[in-house]
Chain A
């Protein structure tokens, strides 16, 4: 790393850590219903919304009602987004006259955006109209992020409250998350991005003449759009000369800000944050990374404040930060080392394939670990082009269960599930019925923690196995062998953990991946959410056990290290065999020189 890269890295983490505390405390105030600086402006809007929707802000819900509200609300959202995608050609703001989505792609995309996954089996600029992007997709970037935050807040209340069944009001939490948190920050961030050159307009795509005409070969199609083949079965190509190019435009900045802030990751363009209209400068690049980590990181502080011991939050943040930095170091090391096979061809230096030079190597690595450690899934480089070991870093971060900061809200509550498991085993090891934050951990909590932690892993194992024995799924793989296997593993890991980034090289817009992927995203989102709400319901009803010398402190280094170990062991034991047939063998092969 050169001096600029060190500076870039240090600045990023310094800014992040400086913002965690004020934002974390701000969120605690917002969700505890206290007045904030924004209240004079926003409280009237908030009250008006409740009046229109008939929400009684003081009526709290038990975990069942809360979970039902989450699931039903999200179901309605899936249906409405599905309708928008299917009826895109009839709706306004479609200057390119784009046709509707196919039903399975629409289903996959609807599920993808509502579950905060933002897996994109479509190509934004070629298939989605402005209306779809703004009303359909950007809306869900806000709502799905707010849903995750609301669930996390309800779970925190479960830990913080005593002898009650009530976890808060979902509608109020949802409204406050959008109104006080997501909208103001997105607004500011969008303006910063625009200042850097991110575009924001509703004009039709521009066609401009090329400075230098390009000649290329193109497969010849018959009248029905089917490639023409010659006698030997090879496709017939024809030579074309391109004189002009179409430049896609659109309301990008407004979607870009919330795409990162809400750890959504669904790019306006197919190239996502590598596209200069989404992410034009090194500064915008850093701002985007910061936005990705901001809310998830700050929620640990909110957690600490709400349970009455800020150190508890810092301990979780410490674990997250440690895993993120280690991942960054490994990725940076692997990419700097480059590819020895390419070096043999006389190309020396780091592996720069698939990277944007304007972001620097370290900048790219930072974005990559941030976007996969959180469930964001925006990309600023092609993960598929990383070295095998380097590619294993984002894959592993996803497979760990999206807890290295994780998705907004979901990162915190999944981390809490890990903490519960770590507390349980360590509690036994010191000879006490385990307790976390003064709440006894018993069979109910264990069941819910285990569901939360393992459901995504189970989905990945089952679906990647079924892909390997389904000819249609194998046919989608552009790269055979270990790399192809990594791509499939990555695809299901990404969907089941609601990340949404892709390893590319895999044609995911086929029935197999669209439908099983939708299933993976639904299970990966709602099973943990409902399980953690159930755990919160059980915890809230318990009495508080004050700490004594016999209580294991969960806000100190030994527990943080143990928690880190538990996370790594669970991840490694679940995925070591699969990884050894993918990136591990690929890395060994590359190192072996073949």
Chain B
């Protein structure tokens, strides 16, 4: 299947850089910027230095005008870099939202008066549709709004939403009834009951989410901001404290000059956690964007971060852990029949069976027992599988071939006149079932020939993923409708930590509640309407886009690819967002050590020449030292933008090892890097001054 998932646009693409710069300048408006208090304080600081610079032009300042001017320039750049990183992160989303908007332009709908095909309708604009309206959508028309198919079935192209070009079937009843506004019906006609008012549709929500317009700060982000604001306030006081202390020291020693306002402001901005504060908004936006690149729409940032905390993953067996289709792997004859005879009967019984299981039986018989691919005999009568008989097969050439559940086939054979059922049958059937496979008994008329071993094939590499999850402290629970015996065998093969067999919707809900009671964060995936209650209860609920409307409404994350293993990617992005924040916070604060060593000796040198020994970097002059620190503080922001947007690399390690690793990289690195950086900048600055 061809995919044209949203193509990743490089952030250095001029189509993104240009508008981002304009947007960054707009964001300098203090009425917007105060939402980021740390950067807001830097803007005030920049404004103060600007005023000081203007005043110093007329010689009213202790510092030379060029120095104050340069400090002011770089402080303004610091603020600008911050707003630019945010608008850069938003840029990609904006470009995508614009393309989504195009698919929503002025659609008309046929509003039906009654629920019947061919009934009378009025043509209305999409914006006039309200919840509960019925619309008729015919081949070639675009569906005007979100809704449920209540009559008919149609082939729908959902590329506009999912990027998936292969059309999907949408039909009334069952788990495939939901349609999304903006998608196109390719064949047949359906009647849709609208479920969302204009402006509240999936596409609308998606656009606003991608644009970041509705982005609210997550609880975690708020807690981090508390820390950053407090640090900023303390550093403000630290700088305010230096002034009187230096005034006193000048009086006491009778030499030097008190620290000037320009230097104090410069020190304040250098110490304030500007690096993390500048990149904080970009980190969250970029996280959602990364998920979108994986075709996952998170309906809130909170949901992604909660995914990072998940302790328990509930996974549907089918499609996630196993391939979903069972495959025939062996024929086991009974009652003295040959394997060959059994294979032939099995082949015959499955000739018209179009289910994946049936086809796998045909394939096995053809490949391993050398039968030629036969065309279906003309006189064949297909006996389709039904829930009542629980068997299927064909009648041809006067013989009746059947396969099915053990009890049903035995009953069938008895009816056909079978006297004694082979004694070993029960034992073989039990053995296959115990191994997690499905035994299908094959009969030809009154003879029971043997058993087909239908195996649930566990996806390759799934064990490693579960191992990874386990090493991160996440428990996986498999949910299946199978009997406990089969479930246990598959659980053991896939190496999940636990399983829930013969699961009914209320069992899933109870399982989630129990885990939450015990303090765990639970994630689950689902697509059916009967999953909706459990999805609503789960902390992280991923709905498949192919799922029903109730399931999609109950979820807080929607997977456009409908691939249940996506949950693992979501967990990863959730963790990445938090880690990037934590790492950059540590980096930002560790930077202050070097900045102190640059600025403190520089600003107090005239009072106490002894403090020159603290100038461990041997920076050229006090002015070049302070300027270098300010410049480093500014340029580190754009340098770290790629890291903020891509997120710190994720490693599935136990918590303690991960902490040590990140502390070495971002803590120790954060202490060392500015020493090197400031020294390098000073060499350049000193040469230019």
Contact = CB atoms under 8 A, between A and B. Distances in A.
Interface of A: 421, 424-433, 438, 441-443, 445-447, 450, 454, 457-458, 461-462, 464-466, 468-469, 474, 480-482, 484-485, 543-546, 548-553, 556, 558-559, 562, 565, 569, 572-578, 580-581, 584-585, 588-589, 592
B287 to A, nearest CB: 11
Nearest to B599: A577
A381 to B, nearest CB: 26
**Interface SS majority for chain A:** helix
A561 to B, nearest CB: 9
A428 B284 CA distance: 13
Contacts of A544: 519
B610 A585 contact: yes
A291 to B, nearest CB: 34
B579 A578 contact: no
Interface string B570-614: 000011111101110110011011001000100010011011011
12 contacts: A428-B224, A428-B579, A430-B579, A454-B234, A546-B519, A548-B311, A553-B655, A569-B590, A573-B589, A573-B596, A581-B249, A585-B611
Interface stretch (B59-67, B626-634, B657-665): B657-665
Contact of A425 (B222, B246, B585, B655): B585
Given A465-B245, A576-B596, A578-B241, A428 B473 contact: no
Contact of A558 (B246, B519, B600, B660): B660
Contact of A550 (B518, B610, B655): B655
Interface in B490-541: 517-520
Interface in B370-397: none
B279 interface: no
Nearest to A457: B234
A465 B240 contact: yes
B248 A468 contact: yes
B659 A577 contact: no
Contacts of B659: 426, 429-430, 552, 558-559, 562
B241 A465 contact: yes
A431 B519 contact: no
Contacts of B230: 450, 454
A438 B521 CA distance: 13
Contact of B245 (A426, A462, A550, A581): A581
Nearest to B224: A428
B604 A581 contact: yes
Contact of B656 (A427, A457, A552, A569): A552
Nearest to A469: B244
A548 B223 contact: no
A535 to B, nearest CB: 13
A575 B237 CA distance: 10
B102 interface: no
Contacts of B311: 545, 548, 550
A543 B239 CA distance: 41
A555 to B, nearest CB: 11
B240 A461 contact: yes
Given A431-B578, A469-B244, A573-B235, 7 more contacts: A428-B585, A429-B666, A431-B574, A443-B219, A553-B655, A569-B589, A578-B242
3 pairs of A and B residues whose beta carbons are closest in the complex: A428-B582, A550-B473, A431-B575
Given A433-B220, A550-B655, A466 B244 contact: yes
Interface string B650-677: 1000111011101100110000000000
B614 A580 contact: yes
Residue among A431, A432, A447, A569 facing the most chain B CB atoms (10 A cut-off): A431
Residue among A433, A454, A559 facing the most chain B CB atoms (10 A cut-off): A433
Size bin of chain B's contact surface: 35 or more
B586 A433 contact: no
Nearest to A453: B230
A531 to B, nearest CB: 12
Contacts of A573: 234-235, 238, 271, 589, 592, 596
A550 B658 CA distance: 10
Contacts of A457: 234
B582 A482 contact: no
B472 interface: yes
Given A484-B252, A580-B611, A442 B223 contact: yes
Residue among B241, B473, B517 facing the most chain A CB atoms (10 A cut-off): B241
B247 to A, nearest CB: 7
A481 B658 contact: no
B611 A446 contact: no
B252 A447 contact: no
B249 A551 contact: no
B474 interface: yes
Interface string B4-41: 00000000000000000000000000000000000000
Contacts of B519: 438, 543-546
A581 B470 CA distance: 53
Contacts of B578: 427-428, 431-433
B281 interface: no
Contacts of A458: 233-234, 237
B448 to A, nearest CB: 50
A559 B241 CA distance: 33
Contact of A462 (B241, B249, B574, B655): B241
Contacts of A574: 234, 238
B226 interface: yes
A465 B655 contact: no
B308 interface: yes
A456 to B, nearest CB: 11
Contacts of B596: 573, 576-577
A89 B262 CA distance: 56
Contacts of B243: 465
B253 interface: yes
A592 B611 CA distance: 11
Contact of A468 (B247, B473, B586): B247
B252 A430 contact: no
B579 A485 contact: no
B327 interface: no
A474 B253 CA distance: 14
A457 B236 CA distance: 12
Contact of B613 (A461, A552, A588): A588
B682 interface: no
B473 A548 contact: yes
A548 B240 CA distance: 45
B484 to A, nearest CB: 26
A92 B155 CA distance: 101
A214 to B, nearest CB: 35
Given A545-B519, A548-B473, A464 B245 contact: yes
B308 A432 contact: yes
A482 B306 CA distance: 52
Interface string B197-211: 000000000000000
Interface in B99-117: none
A576 B305 contact: no
